[in-house]
Amino acid sequence: MLAAGLGTRMRPITDTIPKPLVEVGGKPLIAYSLEALERLGVGTIVVNVHYLADVLTDWLDRRTGARILISDEREQLLDSGGAVVHALPQLGNQPLLLLNADTFWVEDPAAGRGNLAALQAGFDPERMDILMLTARPDQATGHSGPGDFFADADNRLKRFRGDGEPLIYAGALILHPRIFAGISERVFSLNRCFDAAIAAGRLHGLPLAGHWLTVGTPQAIGEAESAMRTYFGRPAS
């Protein structure tokens, strides 16, 4: 789980607490992702830390549930791709679930199963290097911008450049660690891996069932809480 960001747009709240511990709907942002993983049956979760790392690790230590391992980036923030490579000794060489600690979603009760379970069932390592959860703009609260990707008829993703229906990366994916082969830099973005998978036709999307929320500023907290009350009339997951 990626939880090491500086949270600069969330200041002044993040002057004293790391962004994953900012409360929305009565609990910290990171709790939604942890609970989603635990509902899936994940027993061990690796969380990277950097900014106000002691505050976050203290909170994680007090929490009951899955076993949580820390990938320590106190010395240097490694960006999203470098963070995963740094944690691979703890994660292994099999396909892995990757979540952002500061985004979450309201599950659709009519879907029959959760979005992470759908990701797990949908990942095909023979055809895919990455399977990414995606949301339409009308399924999102707190997102700005035109969109990140668009999907073809087989749900293969390409960068959105104004053609096709825009999709948002919803902060959860499954990737195979082979996507990092040939990358020697210690600090790099996952966007590099996304582009490599696009070029190979191996980046696929899975449509979100529910409503996705991202909380980037203090003002966005109220927007997210309003959406949580509006969509399906239940807390987020």
Q: Rounded mean pLDDT of 168-182?
A: 95
Residue 157 φ then ψ, to 5°: -100, 145
Q: Which CA distances in Å does 129 have to 58, 95, 105, 126, 152?
A: 34, 9, 24, 8, 17
Q: For the chain, give every domain's residue range.
A: 8-230
Range in 135-139, 147-151, 210-214, 231-235 with the lowest mean pLDDT:
231-235
Q: Which CATH architecture has domain 8-230?
A: Alpha-Beta Complex (3.90)
Positions of E strands within 73-167: 96-99, 103-107, 130-135, 140-141, 149-151, 157-159
Q: What is the DSSP string of 28-51?
A: EHHHHHHHHHHHHT--EEEEEE-T
Alpha helices, DSSP H only, in 41-78? 53-62
The count of C-alpha atoms lying within 13 angstroms of the C-alpha of 216, restricted to the half-sphere facing its C-beta, is 6
Q: State yes or no: pLDDT of 232 exceeds 60.
A: no
Range in 127-131, 169-173, 220-224 with the lowest mean pLDDT:
220-224
Handedness of CA 74, 33, 166, 193 (dihedral sign): positive
